[in-house]
Structure 1
């Protein structure tokens, strides 16, 4: 009886602090939903949350809700790889809402199935490198900058010197290498010839309907269609979709829930909550994969 009382106090306090839905999310089997929106950056907290979802035995599938025009190419790569790691354990669905362009589409490629609205925006497959050029302005105000470099390409491109053909060739090589990686990823994940992926990777944006025709996504549809697919993947039909957007990954959320589950199991009431939820967790730099409209 004491164990039950302590567990109730823990869960009650947890619900009071974190909100009425938090404890349910962490202790009952469910389909996790994670929203990725805005500018894509290198986000360790998001990566940790994705890892937690993959490790959480209570999560039977993951829906990634996307509303992003892209951002850091590296950030998109990291999120893509993290989601593919989850997909090795449970179904992952990409749900393109308003848009998932460029690095956003890269992330969508991690889904076992990609859905979008008829008028959602996606595509914009490509890589961009931008740098400021202030030489003309500095010349007008009579300011010059001196540099001492160990090699001609060191620290290039510099904002106060015009880029030489050699510098532009170097930058083009970096962009091309990352672009080719992106194209190969599209070809692999969408099971299409590289020539077709390359033709589609000219930076164009497309609607959800056009993306289906081009083979960039699987279907136009919403939650009903997503659930139908998940049921085909043997995800139980009675599971609720629960948002993980507000679940902290500093360890507090999961550790509090784990403690309550442990006590209820010791009291012989483990069937009420099931297994442990899972382990506790813990400026755009570089190349950019973004739909230009977002700048």
Structure 2
């Protein structure tokens, strides 16, 4: 009899748990629909009323179709002008190219001014020159005009532990360099030709957009970063200041009222194809009461995934290694 009572109690507990999680699931779906509807309505209101659009470019720049779509929507919106707030060390060459092209298409429809908040280096500077006017904080970093191709070579390490990686290739330069064998002069020359080609494209953009002489272009395109103050003298930026400076320029040169409201536009993506994983892990840690762990997890996985997804040619500033 006692066993039957225990079984009945256990079944009731299980039934209550199932009911609870079903209710949670339904509420989650309802919340998701409500948030989606709210975002859609908010986006419509944002686009229809006169305002100055703010677009934030931060972190590593890579290909982002959602961001391009957002910039196209801004072009069709009732925004009077666009402020591009930049704090980025760069990213992939193709990602920077995509962003630059999207900004130039937007600039054909709206006045676009870039504000360098902390850094507009390498691919971040490519984004900056996609604007009509560049404002930089005095001690922000700009420049790093150059391209890099990096790959690890573990040949010596594998030799020490007795591991040999063999391959059968259709031609000597197929999948070269691979990091498992010494890089041949032919492979190095092939990769160098890619770097030189993209570097020439980068310098051409800078020369065209900043109206630099050959001597000045050579001076600023050796890969160094400059402060905003230095960049002003080198014609890399137009003014020192912040977003208020950008608003004053828009009012002065483009007739955009300074009292017009600034609204930040955000793309639909979460930042990377791994965004759902970071969100789920962070949410789980937070739900369990580990808010600090959730924050650390989010930051650590963001940095790891950003590094993992960067391959090929990079327009990315890196601080010199300390000996």
Partner of 1:140: 160
Contact 2:61 2:92 in 1 (8 A): yes
Contact 2:216 2:234 in 1 (8 A): no
Secondary structure at the aligned position of 1:85 is classed as helix
Write the distance in 1 (CA, Å) between the matches of 2:320 and 2:49.
38
Q: Does 1:48 align with 2:69?
A: yes
After superposition, the C-alpha distances for 1:222-253 in whole angstroms (9 at most, x for unaligned) are 222211211221223442111103x648xxxx
Partner of 2:100: 80
**Larger relative helix fraction:** 2
1:182-221 matched pairs, under 5 angstroms: 182-221=202-241
Partner of 1:289: 315
Greater RCO, CA 8 A, separation 6+: 1
Write the distance in 2 (CA, Å) between the matches of 1:220 and 1:41.
27
Contact 1:67 1:98 in 2 (8 A): yes
Secondary structure at the aligned position of 1:230 is classed as helix
Q: Structure 1 residues 43 and 16 mapped into 2: Cα distance closer, same or farther (>3 Å)?
A: closer
Secondary structure at the aligned position of 1:99 is classed as strand
1:19: how far off?
Answer: 10
Gaps of 5+ in 1: 1-12, 250-282
Q: Does 1:17 align with 2:38?
A: yes
Q: Does 1:236 align with 2:276?
A: no
Partner of 1:161: 181
Secondary structure at the aligned position of 2:182 is classed as coil
Q: Does 1:223 align with 2:249?
A: no
Partner of 2:170: 150
Partner of 2:132: 112
Secondary structure at the aligned position of 1:132 is classed as coil
Give the TM-score, by structure 1 length: 0.79
1:18: how far off?
Answer: 3.9
Partner of 2:114: 94
Write the distance in 2 (CA, Å) between the matches of 1:93 and 1:212.
15
Aligned length: 249
Gaps of 5+ in 2: 1-33, 270-308
1:34 to 46, 55, 76: 55
Contact 1:184 1:194 in 2 (8 A): no
Partner of 1:8: none
Contact 2:117 2:242 in 1 (8 A): no
Write the distance in 2 (CA, Å) between the matches of 1:125 and 1:172.
16
Contact 1:116 1:219 in 2 (8 A): yes
Q: Structure 1 residues 83 and 145 mapped into 2: Cα distance closer, same or farther (>3 Å)?
A: same
Write the distance in 2 (CA, Å) between the matches of 1:290 and 1:241.
30
After superposition, the C-alpha distances for 1:93-152 in whole angstroms (9 at most, x for unaligned) are 011001111100011001100000001111111000001101111111211122111111
Contact 2:47 2:74 in 1 (8 A): no
Partner of 1:272: none
Structure of greater Rg = 2
